[in-house]
Each structure stands twice: as C-alpha cells, then as structure tokens.
Amino acid sequence: MIITTPAPESASDAVAQMYEEDIAADGFVHAYTAAMAVNPEAHDAFVALVRAVVPSIGVRIYEAATLGAARAIGSAHCLIAHGRKSMTAGVVDEAGLRAFAADDDSAFTDAERAVIRYAERLSSSPQDMTDADAAALREHGLTDRQIVDITLAAGLRNHFSRSLMALTVPLDDDPLIAPELAAALRRRAERRAQ
C-alpha cells in the first residue's frame, strides 16, 4: 500500500476513536480502518450512510446485500469482515458462509437470496438492470424504501470495497474468523478477480 496511514500510538481525535472502536470490537485495528483514517471525515460520512439504511432493512438484509456485493466485486476484505459480522449477528453460521463462498446461498432465506442476487447484479452489470430486478425484491414483500435502501447498501459496499482494492490495502489475518473459512472467502474473491 503506497499511502501512509496514521500510527495508532500517535492517533488523536477522530482517528483515535476509529482505532479504539476497532480494538473494542475486534481486539485490533483493521488495515482498512487505518487506510480510511487518512480521511476520518469521509469515513464518518460512510458510517452515517450505513446507519441511514440499516433501520428500514435490518441487519440480516443489510448483510445479505453487503455479502452479495462483496462476492460480485471480489472483495476479500469485505467477504471476511462481513462474513464474520454475519455470523456474529446470527444471519448465517460457519457452514452456511463456507457454502456461500462456493456460490451456494441455501443458508439464507428466500428474501435474502433475492437480495444477494440483486446486489450481485448491481455490482457486476448495473447498466443491464431493469424494473424486473426491483420487482423480484417486491415479490418478497419489500417496500419502496427497503428496495432503495438495499440498493444504497450494495452501492455503499461497492464504494468501500473498490476503494480498498484500489489502495491495495493489505488483508488482515483476522483472529476472529477460522483460518480455513477466511481462506475459502479469499479464494472466492480471487476467482472473481480473474
């Protein structure tokens, strides 16, 4: 990574808070947090946008949109981080996430699978999307607000994932996810990148 990130020992104000939140939640500062700490105001704006969409769709749908977008983009950072968050939130268990890495979405509900497909399409071929894509979400009882917020959630993941990839942010060895599962998610990301 060519950029120099703020050192934890000299971090102050907003950067220190970002680092403290990582340490409190996960026990270490993620490389992606350090990269975003170069512009903490932009990071805060990103977090505010996430907080604006989650209430209408809930954590399960948010994580489904995030994982679908991350898989389509080939973002190992976000597959691992949100795979862990999804397991912690009870969205999917380790076996279901391992299956997800192999393109088997059967551990998710029908509505969540529709969201995953929508987020993947948004992330790989948005120019080809039609009203039929949103109609597939509506078939699962999702409202206009929820469809907009699912779209924003997937778009936000594109923003964050692609930024990390462009900055060549190193991938953490996340001690909170099994190494074999992390390796499966990395391999899935690499398949997309080829």
What are the DSSP calls for 58-125, one per residue? Answer: HHHHHHHHHHHHHHHHT-HHHHHHHHHHHHHTTSS-HHHHHHHHTT--TTS-HHHHHHHHHHHHHHH-
Q: Kindly report the pTM of this predicted structure.
A: 0.93
Domain residue ranges in the chain: 31-193
**Dist CA 84 CA 104 (whole Å):** 17
pLDDT value, residue 194? 47
Q: Give the integer Cα–Cα distance in Å for 42 and 22.
A: 17
State residue 193's pLDDT score. 52
CATH superfamily of 31-193: AhpD-like (1.20.1290.10)
**Mean pLDDT, 10 residues at a time, the chain of 194 residues:** 89 92 91 95 95 97 97 95 93 95 96 97 96 97 98 97 95 89 92 64
| Contact between 153 and 119 (Cβ < 8 Å) | yes
